[in-house]
Amino acid sequence: MRTGVMLGLCGVMLMGASTLFAGDAEKGKAVYEQKCLMCHGALGKGDGPVGAMMKPRPADFTSPASKKKSDADLLKTIESGRPGTPMAPWKGVLSAQQIQDVLAYVRSLGQ
């Protein structure tokens, strides 16, 4: 095996499982509507029917602050939740692919 290929494979292994899958926004929309919409709202503005009663309010994915966040930061939040807030961890509930799909959909909301 060539050195470049080996280095590439090692880099992929070091990135972790959550970064190995490309997200599909269309599939992510279906997961989002089932798992996220009640808090984050249909358009991702943090204004879902349950989210309106939460403190702190759920993230607005269309805001400049959300748009500035890296994919790694958003993945960490989806996977691990946010302690001290109602944002629960989804790792173990959603597959790694579903998490990537949700991320792709969330990114599409901010466009």
Round to whole Å and give the CA distance between 17 and 104.
16
pLDDT score of 8: 42
Cβ atoms of 46 and 57 closer than 8 Å = yes
pTM: 0.79
Question: pLDDT tens digits for the chain (111 residues)?
Answer: 444 444 443 344 334 444 456 899 999 999 999 999 999 999 999 999 999 899 999 999 999 999 999 999 999 999 999 999 999 999 999 999 999 999 999 999 978
pLDDT score of 52: 86
Q: Mapping DSSP to helix (H, G, I), strand (E, B) and coil, where does residue 59 land?
A: coil
